[in-house]
Structure 1
Amino acid sequence: MLTFLRNLQPLRSFKRSLTFLAGLPDSYDFTAVDIAQKQLVATWVHAYRAGVVLPFEQVGFQARSAEEEDGLLLYIFTLAGTTNKVVLEISAQDGRTCMASNLILHHRWTGFLYDGDPVWVESGRRFFEGHPATRGWQPTYNSHWFTVENIEARLAADGVPAEIDLLSLDIDGIDLHLWKALDSVSPRVLIAEFNSAVPSDLSLTVPYRPDFAYTDNEPGREMFRSASLAAYVAVSRAKGYRLVAVNRLGYNAIFLRNDVAADIFPEIEASVIDTLPDVAVTRAEHWPRLKDLAWETVGDAGRPVPHRQGEPATVG
């Protein structure tokens, strides 16, 4: 049955059409993509009702995401359901390529989008104002530099609900510290970029500094940023989440809250990225230059422990 459903002609043709129609961000057949995604969802529902949960490598596609995350997220919400269809994205750039846009444009989600660069934000506002799906009602789109100290107040001031369906986090900096500090907003699903240069058995994050910017690092050390997948797993478990998927290039991870579709999407281990070729290349290139820097070790409860420069980076 699984092999039969994987090879259903509608499923294969819809995936091909989505790949073909991704095209240029501002010039694509919106209606065709809209219809194709609805048909794809119907195919997934049919398979699930037949008792089949497709592996993630069979459902990924790229419409607005950088890689195949649009398909992964849509598949999860197709099977797990939604509550209010609210997505919060921190570091959405100009909205043309981000995790929220496909859900907003083709599935009518409500978006709260942020980026630290006001130029990106202004460009993103123009994009959504001119798009046929959002001309009448655009997502909330603001420029803001988030810190542990201000994230809760800022989101509350902008009216982000306490319960949301999706949080996308990718600021290439103090990401894990923000995730740990976020208590007032509880996403059912988290997608976050992690630092794949760090070996999967090391639970490490950059130290917290409100003005941290990886662009300030010395040349050759730009990858000293964010946190390892194991560190994300530690903090997320402490917050009641489990790792369920990573993208094929091994740098984006998807976590589900433990009360969401636990019978459909089981927890996987951080070591799943060790077999990915792109991760091996990234580690070989960057980890020798990063391993002795001032990382913090993240313990099982999600608490950071200072790691002194020059000491071996080990799990605490």
Structure 2
Amino acid sequence: MSNLNDYKKNIYSQNGEDGIIIEILKRLKLLNKKSKWACEFGAWDGIRGSNTFNLIKNYSFNGVYIEGDKKKFSLLTKTSEKFKKIIPLNMFVSHKKKSNFSLEKILKKTKIPKKFEVLSIDIDSYDLSVWQSLKRYDPQVVIIEINSGIEPGILQKNSYKKRGNSFTSTVRVGLKKGYFLVSHTGNCIFVKKNLMNKLKIEKKFISNPNLLFDSQWLFKKENVIKLLLKKIVPIYVINFIRNIKHTINLKFI
């Protein structure tokens, strides 16, 4: 069976995820179900760069779309008015388990079943911690953003001093939660272990997920610049300057 990355195709996604997700769902025979669900956050307008909107529009999925930014959420509301299967929620997802805005507590307020098809996480920060906090819900396929500028073998979880979650840290969490990595597109795509036989992935990728890492990401311009900056300026100084800039911008909004 060919590598899933051979099925890369963008309809609304950014790095070929649309094509890969459809191929995964076909192999798992999840596209033919009567009731199908996806959850995505931060959802933006529900369309731009979405990993799941193709499922809503073209495959009759129901969707829980979560967006905290008010301006982006107003756009998401307009999308949901046209696509009635979208449930739009205006809130930020917390990575803290006991928060009233944890992913579990948010999903509990919706009709999404405990076992659902696709979860897409893209919040540019505590993505991995949010996934770790999810205990009572059981998505069959998980797409999660990572910092692909960090090479395999390095353990890193997002913090104030270190931005983004590394490939290896994310893969380790996935294994602990009962998932195998099946693709890396810049995002990591995972599938539940008990479904892997249906996917027919080559054993070498299961035993050594580093083989799935797309090393081209290490040489993208923005990642090279970040690496050079880190060697010159400590990351906490960069974050401090970034936060000051953000505060100044807010004063003039």
TM-score bracket, normalised by the shorter chain, equals: 0.7 to 0.9
Equivalent residue runs for 1:30-109 within 5 Å: 53-82=1-30, 84-97=35-48, 98-109=50-61
1:180 touches 1:235 (CA, 8 Å); kept in 2? yes
Helix, strand or coil for the counterpart of 1:127? Answer: helix
Equivalent residue runs for 1:178-257 within 5 Å: 178-207=130-159, 224-247=162-185, 251-257=186-192
Q: Which residue of 1 aligns with 2:87?
A: 140
For 1:75 and 1:197, how far apart are their aligned partners in 2? Answer: 26
Helix, strand or coil for the counterpart of 1:168? Answer: strand
The one-character-per-residue Cα deviations of 1:17-43 (angstroms, maximum 9, x if unpaired) are xxxxxxxxxxxxxxxxxxxxxxxxxxx
1:168 touches 1:192 (CA, 8 Å); kept in 2? yes
For 1:290 and 1:85, how far apart are their aligned partners in 2? Answer: 44
2:65 is equivalent to residue 117 of structure 1: no
For 2:169 and 2:70, how far apart are their aligned partners in 1? Answer: 30
Q: Size of the alignment, in residue pairs?
A: 219
Runs of 4+ off more than 3 Å = 288-294
Report which stretch shifted further, 185-194 or 267-276: 267-276
Q: CA deviation at 1:271?
A: 5.1
For 2:179 and 2:154, how far apart are their aligned partners in 1? Answer: 19
For 2:5 and 2:157, how far apart are their aligned partners in 1? Answer: 28
Q: CA 1:275/1:138 → structure 2, altered by over 3 Å: closer, same or farther?
A: closer
Segments of structure 2 that go 5 or more residues without pairing to the other structure are 237-253
Q: CA deviation at 1:203?
A: 1.4
Percent identity for Structure 1 against Structure 2: 22
Helix, strand or coil for the counterpart of 2:85? Answer: coil
For 1:275 and 1:172, how far apart are their aligned partners in 2? Answer: 20
Q: CA deviation at 1:274?
A: 5.6
Helix, strand or coil for the counterpart of 2:180? Answer: strand
Segments of structure 1 that go 5 or more residues without pairing to the other structure are 1-52, 218-223, 295-316
Q: CA deviation at 1:156?
A: 0.6
Q: Which residue of 1 aligns with 2:246?
A: none
Q: Which residue of 2 aligns with 1:280?
A: 219
Q: CA deviation at 1:77?
A: 0.2
Q: Which residue of 2 aligns with 1:174?
A: 126
For 1:244 and 1:81, how far apart are their aligned partners in 2? Answer: 17
Which of the two has greater helix per residue? Answer: 2
Q: CA deviation at 1:54?
A: 3.4
Q: TM-score, normalization: structure 2?
A: 0.79
Q: Based on CA coordinates, which of the two structures has the bigger radius of gyration?
A: 1
Helix, strand or coil for the counterpart of 2:197? Answer: coil
